[in-house]
Chains A and B, each alone.
Chain A
Amino acid sequence: MNEELSNKIIERLNKDSILPIPKWRFNILYGFFWLGALMSVIIGSLAFATILFLIIDLRMHGIFEVSHSALEIMLFIPYLWLIVLCIFILIAKISLRHTKRGHQYRLRYIVASSLILSIIFGSFLTLVGVGKLTHDTLNRTSIYNYTTYDAQDAWDQPIVGRIAGVVLSVNNKNNFIIKDFEGALWHIQIATSTYGHVFTPKANSIVRMSGIYDASSSIFIATSIYEWED
């Protein structure tokens, strides 16, 4: 038994007044890591709730039926939220790995659990309207608005044959004026041959329409008109 080394170490502890780090500091540190894991599930759930809301929103407003190609549908994928979801799954992984027993969980289980929890809580949050609330709140900021494509954006594409807005006035049964979601006014003319549903426009109703934009006369010729569902 070598007492020399232990004496040397005890001497150094005394000489340099070395003390153990207090337990509360470790508790705070691990608390932060657990908080990180918890936050990642909360943000992940919000991300999933918003993704689900955006998909339901696009589906409810018939965008998948009127899209021209798979490539166009890919534009509607909420990439920003998918990136947020991935980042917070990664944060969950890093946070858990730094907790005392976190290293015992395999990466695939951490990723799967984080994803499953986000899906469960996210679905619940969508049901109670948090997905919509998150989207609507963030949609007021230009960066979010620019990067995330919702049903209103999808129906604000007169050049590709989609337009939506509030009916301001009905001139006659074939002509009316709408104000789109960006505030621009559009003259609408119902086509002579229509297909799909033709909702009879009334002042103050919100409508979405498929058709053709005639750039020479600045008129949108609607071939189908649906009421905008909220």
Chain B
Amino acid sequence: MALELDKSDQELVIATLENRNSFSALIQKYEAAIRRYVRRLGCVEADDINDVIQEIFIKVYINLNDYDQKLKFSSWLYRIAHNETISFFRKKNLRVNVLNLSDEDIDDFFEQIDDGKDYVKIAYQKDDARITRDLLSSLNPKYKDVLVLRFLEEKSYSEISEILKLPEGTVATLINRGKKELKIGLEAKGIKSI
């Protein structure tokens, strides 16, 4: 297994197609990241998270021949994870729009959002995680999805484009609009910029 973990994702995909036991290496490599992403999207119960993750990896295995080796495997995996999590919420009649973010996530979010790389800058005191969490959850899903991927999962624009199947230009527009919405919301709640 140690040898397999040294392989690239593309090599692991090829190895898995030849021998399904090699799939373990891909699962172990990405389990933590996908678990965190599923939780952030709003999955609260540990059993639910485990069920969703299992379904995600089963779906990945079934569709492994659809993976385009020119793209990052993680982007393709995140796309399946995103779609599976949303359909899990729908199946269970759960609210799709409530993010499950820890205080640490909110701290990370502000560290990333203030990196100066994006057009709209937000630099706020990190003194009210709950308000920010509620505001993020209440954003339009199209903004929320890109903000979570950009500032919590730390994905590049091109990765987000692959995950959400959107043009890169649209991703950039959604990120900036989402940040603007968030900024307006935070200011309306009395959280002032530093």
Contacts and interface: CB of A to CB of B under 8 A. Distances in A.
Interface string A31-57: 000000000000000000000000000
Contact of B24 (A3, A14, A105): A3
Contact of A103 (B28, B58, B65, B161): B161
Given A18-B61, A103-B161, A6 B27 contact: yes
Contacts of A14: 20
B141 interface: no
Interface of B is mostly: helix
B62 A18 contact: yes
B24 A21 contact: no
Interface stretch (B87-95, B110-118, B165-173, B181-189): B165-173
Interface stretch (B49-57, B100-108, B120-128, B131-139): B49-57
Interface string A9-41: 110111000111111011000000000000000
B28 A106 contact: no
Interface of A is mostly: helix
Interface in B136-191: 161, 165-170
Nearest to B16: A20
B65 A21 contact: yes
B17 interface: yes
A1 interface: yes
B21 to A, nearest CB: 6
B8 interface: no
A14 B168 CA distance: 39
B66 A9 contact: no
A21 B53 contact: no
B31 A2 contact: yes
A108 to B, nearest CB: 10
A19 B61 CA distance: 8
A104 B24 contact: no
Contact of A22 (B28, B57, B65, B68): B65
Interface in B12-58: 17, 20-21, 23-24, 27-28, 31-32, 50, 53-54, 57-58
15 contacts: A1-B28, A2-B31, A3-B24, A6-B24, A8-B54, A10-B20, A12-B54, A13-B23, A14-B20, A21-B62, A21-B66, A25-B65, A103-B165, A106-B167, A106-B169
The 6 closest A-B pairs by CB, nearest first: A103-B165, A6-B27, A6-B24, A23-B65, A20-B64, A106-B167
Interface of B: 17, 20-21, 23-24, 27-28, 31-32, 50, 53-54, 57-58, 61-66, 68, 161, 165-170
